Homo-oligomer: A and B are copies of this chain.
Amino acid sequence: MVGTISASEGISTNELQLALRNSGMPLEALRWPLTPPGLHYLLCHYDIPMVDVDAWRLELTGRVAQPAVFSLGELKQRETVTVPVTMECAGNDRARMTPRPVSQPWLGEAIGTAAWTGTPLAGLLREAGVSEEGTEVLFTALDCGIEGGIRQAYARSLPISEALEADAILAWGIGDVALAPQHGFPLRLVVPGWYGMTHVKWLRQVTVLDAPFDGYQQTQGYRIRDSPDEPGEPVTRILPRALMVPPGIPDFMTRRRFVASGTHRLEGRAWTGWGEVTRVQVSVTGGERWDDAELGDAVGRHAWRGWSYVWLATEAGDYQLACRAWDSAGNVQPLEPQWNLGGYANNAVQRMAVTVTAG
């Protein structure tokens, strides 16, 4: 975070460079229950490493009774699971905040659902014997860079309870295909329900700590705070969000949508990292009036569920559509962004401009 920019100013070259390196999921891809390969959102802080898998090893160390080193082949001989997980960047929709926090300028498309294949983290930790002093597990990656003036390898920690109980996996594939380089080849962490910064890619070390990790990505980045002087609260689990497939056809330049007057089935997906989605509502009046959408099944316990709503778009004119989700923890999407310095966890409702044309 280097600061903020007023809403009237355009996107800076630094932000554009990030937007062109990182990639969002075009929202029409919400049609697929599992995001097609290459359309899952992607954010890499530094460079994508080119890893020699024969030389690569995962080191498990720190406050464990039996430190160990694993080749990829050794990990693949362990218990293997495939878990559909909806992932979202903590900075999703950051560029809709005012003033705009300067970083990757997402507009809502930093999402995706993949069926990650790997071995449960908890099993590995239990086998190694976590000592009683163990309070956090640190995940250290191969990618290096400079951020906030500090030279670092990307690294994040998880509370020991989450590492042992949150269904986290060490993943080497999507379905039965090896991880693409940009998704963390040969091994990444996947922690269902947590924002994307948690799912450390290009893992090289797992370390059980007996004190809080104080690295940049834990204490500087990914904190909800209003000024750099506050410690703030850590970003953790994904707040609920519903998104809709853009109806009709787009204008190339403005992305405004055009549909012919008539009856349209709006559809989308909704997810949360706090339990399950219990309700989705749709407004075709810019938020004045809300109706319940019909909920479909979840793609998995840790993945989005579909929803649909029949829109009687009988009158030509300009409309603003919106949708919002509730979850079983009692969270509901706010109508407006909740500003914070880093632009994190903005789950304000999606709004979509649609022109209905005479049949």
Binding site for B on A (CB under 8 A): 2, 5, 9-12, 14-21, 23-24, 26, 28-29, 31-32, 36-40, 42, 44-48, 50, 95, 102-103, 105-107, 109, 144-147, 151, 180-183, 246, 249-255, 258
| Complex CA–CA separation, A126 to B146 (angstroms) | 57
Which residues of chain B come closer than 8 Å to A16, judged between CB atoms? 11, 16, 19, 95, 105, 107
Return chain B residues, CB-CB under 8 Å to A18.
253, 255
Q: A11, B20: Cβ atoms under 8 Å?
A: no
**Residue in chain B with minimal CB distance to A47:** B28
Given contacts A10-B10, A107-B16, A109-B20, contact A252 B50 (CB under 8 A): no
Q: Is the CB of B180 within 8 A of A20?
A: no
In the complex, given contacts A16-B105, A17-B254, what are 15 additional A-B residue pairs having Cβ atoms less than 8 angstroms apart? Answer: A5-B10, A10-B10, A16-B19, A17-B255, A20-B23, A26-B47, A28-B50, A36-B181, A36-B182, A37-B180, A38-B182, A39-B182, A145-B249, A146-B251, A147-B251
Q: Which chain B residue shows the least CB distance to A147?
A: B252
A44 and B26 CA atoms in complex are apart in Å by 10
A41 to chain B, nearest CB (A): 10
Structural contact, B180 and A39, CB atoms closer than 8 A: yes
A15 to B252, CA, bound (A): 10
> Chain B: which residue is nearest A110 at the CB level?
B20
A180 contacts across to B, CB distance below 8 A: 36-39
A20 touches B24 (CB 8 A): yes
CA distance A253 to B146 in the complex (A): 9
**Contact assessment for A26 and B48 in the assembled complex, using a CB-CB cutoff below 8 Å:** yes
Question: Across the interface, do A47 and B249 meet the contact criterion of CB distance under 8 Å?
Answer: yes
A26 to B181, CA, bound (A): 12
Q: Which 4 A-B pairs have the closest CB atoms?
A: A10-B10, A38-B38, A23-B23, A11-B11
CB pairs A–B below 8 angstroms (5 shown) = A10-B12, A20-B105, A20-B107, A28-B47, A103-B253
Q: Which one of B46, B102, B258 lies within 8 Å of A146 (CB-CB)?
A: B258
Closest to A8 in B: B10
Residues of B contacting A40 with CB < 8 Å? Answer: 38
On chain B, the residues within 8 Å of A181 by CB distance are: 29, 32, 36, 39
A11-B14 in contact (CB<8A) = no
**Can you name the residue of chain B whose Cβ is closest to the Cβ of A28?**
B47
Assembly CA distance A17 to B352 (angstroms): 13
